[in-house]
A and B are shown apart, each in its own frame.
Chain A
Amino acid sequence: MSTSNAIQASGLGHLSDATQKRLQRKARIDVWFERMLFAFAFAVLLLLGAIIASLMVSSWPAIQRYGLDFFTENRWAANVEVFGALPAIYGTLLTSFIAIVIAVPISFGIAIFLTEQCPGFLRQPLSTLIELLAGIPSIIYGMWGMEVLAPLLRTWFPTVFPAGTGLTTAGIILAVMIIPFITAVSRDVINTVPAVMRESAYGLGCTTWEVTRSVILPSVKTGLVGGVVLGLGRALGETMAVTFVIGNNLFLNTTLTGQGTSIAALIANQFSESDGSQRSALLALGLILFLITFAVLAFARYLLRNSTGRHA
């Protein structure tokens, strides 16, 4: 037995049999404790593999049947079994793009305000508030978009938003939803800039904006981009905030404000009533969405590898 040899070798041979047995038992526990913990950690790897494998297997019939047509067909018509992913992919990318365009300036503005300008007594409460708002479930954002934002847009801009709902409305809702995420990450990376750098720039006579633009932002550029890409990852896969307001038009409509759909919204709407090739096609859409978000999130993690953002 190797453990008893080890005990002999380490000069513990003079210990009583009972003590040696106890030590051996504990050494065995030690080994099995580590193996058990490793098994759980390894399960995380298996989980990712299982997600990709199960989506591939269950979407295989659709991939086989539609092949590349799946990406070129411009409508999703279940009644004639024509399934094109184009409208959903277009909607997913466009709404996320609109969300980023709106959310980035606002989030950076809030982050700069919180780190550079905000009076000390407000800083903590406002930061906490932002973090709390990141916790609100996405279905609430969707309900608000349907009940408040869509009617408002319809009344204010009846020519642009005849129905109130549509791709841009969904983009605005997504923007509201990811503002807390991007703000929290940006604030954290800006806070990693050493105070000395800020002070020396002020000491040279820079104004607040010059310090921010020439010293702070350049030194945390990758971190900020990482936060934005993380927000993009959220927006791409968001289901509930989008489903209510995107309009659920299953034909490709390459306008900015028209009715459309997104991958997540399409799956949420149709999956439970589908079967056969439609179900398989929806699973193929899910696979596409997972691959897109995987790439985006991996890029975000690569950019954020040096900063400590723990959000999202």
Chain B
Amino acid sequence: MNISQTPLYRRRKRLSQLVMVLCQVATLIGFAFLFAILFTLVTKGLGAISPATFVERTRMTGGGLGNAIWGTFIMTCAATVIGTVIGVAAGTWLAEYSGKGMMAKVIRFINDILLSAPSIIIGLFIYAMVVVPMGNFSGWAGVLALTVIIVPVVIRSTEDMLRLIPNSLREAAAALGAHRYWIIVRVCYSGARAGILTGILLGFARISGETAPLLFTSLNSNQWNFFDLGSEMANLPMTIYQNMTINAFIPDLVALAWGGALILTAAILILNIAARYFSRQRS
């Protein structure tokens, strides 16, 4: 008798098919949720966006999101610049100098914790360290909070990317008489550049959508504030949050919040795709 006709085999096969169908259903459910969110974003957000959205400042009636978009851009850029310097330096030490020491293990572990630490805690920390001594909410406090969030991302990707550089390259450079710092700067960084840039871009995308750390640091404002990081700075996530909560009784502002949400999400998705494109160029 052919084995595929036995009842036992048929039962095993049916069970396997059943589980696989359940897996397909799970996949459908997962993607259905996520498409539903994107669909809501586009249908509610698209109607609220007009050219004026990008150039007008936020007002109680009418207005746009210009100052909020600018503020988010400035704070995210500043945090990315500071975070890149710290993160690349620390990541380089972990990859190039740390060896197998205890110190490196501890720093790596702490960095992994900070990588997923709740962002609202970072906001509280910067509030206690910066806002209270300075006496007022400020763009700098927001920048520092975002810096604390992006640094672990950059450290992680810098270390991972430097570890991909084969040791033979370092040895070849050393044999030619290059000093160690020169090897790192000229050989390792040029090999790992695309990967590190990808990490920085992903970090940039992540912090541009963070709301919780800005609640008690940069706060929000409805005025144009171009470069004065010493005072409160408008930003897109906080504007969305306030329009959806304390200003929710004004339908126009709720619509504008959805427009802002669409702009924010689209920007973040584009950054993520760009980062992926970068890293594919490398390989």
Q: Which A residues are closer than 8 A to B by beta carbons?
A: 26-27, 29-30, 33-34, 36-38, 40-45, 47-48, 50-51, 54-55, 57-58, 105-110, 112-114, 116-117, 126, 128-129, 131-133, 135-141, 143-144, 146-148, 176, 179-180, 183, 207-210, 212, 230, 233-234, 236-240, 244, 264, 267-268, 271-272, 283, 286, 289-290, 293-294, 297-298, 301, 310, 312
Contact = CB atoms under 8 A, between A and B. Distances in A.
Contact of A239 (B96, B113, B119, B129): B119
B211 A132 contact: no
A240 B86 contact: no
Given A41-B107, A129-B31, A33 B244 contact: no
A55 B90 contact: no
B26 A110 contact: yes
B276 interface: yes
Given A37-B97, A143-B257, A301-B113, A176 B34 contact: yes
Contact of A298 (B25, B98, B113, B212): B113
A177 to B, nearest CB: 10
B29 to A, nearest CB: 6
Nearest to B238: A139
B244 A146 contact: yes
B148 to A, nearest CB: 7
A234 B113 CA distance: 11
B121 A45 contact: no
Nearest to B212: A239
Contacts, number: 249
Contacts of A271: 124, 127, 215-216
Given A50-B129, A297-B113, A264 B118 contact: yes
Given A47-B114, A51-B125, A207-B16, 17 more contacts: A26-B182, A30-B179, A33-B181, A38-B97, A42-B107, A44-B107, A44-B111, A106-B26, A107-B26, A109-B23, A109-B25, A113-B27, A136-B209, A144-B40, A179-B30, A233-B116, A244-B245
Contacts of B29: 106
A27 B179 contact: yes
Given A50-B129, A268-B215, A44 B27 contact: no
A273 to B, nearest CB: 11
Interface of B: 12-13, 15-16, 19-20, 22-27, 29-31, 33-34, 36-37, 40-41, 44, 86, 89-90, 92-94, 96-98, 106-107, 109-122, 124-125, 127-129, 132, 148, 151-152, 155-156, 160, 179-182, 184, 202, 205-206, 209-212, 215-216, 219, 237, 240-241, 244-245, 257-258, 261, 264-265, 268-269, 272-273, 276
A43 B90 contact: yes
Identify the interface centre among A48, A51, A137, A138: most chain B CB within 10 Å of its CB. Answer: A137
Contacts of B125: 50-51, 54-55
Given A38-B93, A132-B272, A137-B210, A51 B121 contact: yes
Nearest to B129: A54
A209 B19 contact: yes
Contacts of B265: 136-137, 140
A37 B90 contact: yes
A293 B120 CA distance: 12
Given A36-B89, A137-B237, A237 B117 contact: yes
B144 to A, nearest CB: 11
A223 B37 CA distance: 29
B93 A237 contact: no
A185 B211 CA distance: 25
B166 to A, nearest CB: 18
Contacts of B12: 207, 210
B16 A209 contact: yes
B94 A290 contact: no
A26 B174 CA distance: 14
Contact of B30 (A44, A106, A234, A301): A106
Contact of B268 (A34, A116, A137, A283): A137
B24 A117 contact: yes
Identify the interface centre among B16, B41, B210: most chain A CB within 10 Å of its CB. Answer: B16
Contacts of B110: 44-45, 47-48
Given A113-B26, A148-B36, A312-B116, A44 B20 contact: no
B27 to A, nearest CB: 5
Contact of B90 (A27, A40, A139, A176): A40
Contacts of A264: 118, 120, 212
A139 B89 contact: no
Nearest to A58: B128
Nearest to B205: A135
Contacts of B30: 106-107, 109-110, 179, 183
A297 B117 contact: yes
A129 B32 CA distance: 12
A108 to B, nearest CB: 8
Q: Which 10 A-B pairs have the closest CB atoms?
A: A237-B118, A109-B26, A137-B209, A207-B16, A40-B89, A209-B16, A37-B93, A33-B181, A239-B212, A41-B90
B121 A286 contact: yes
A138 B211 contact: yes
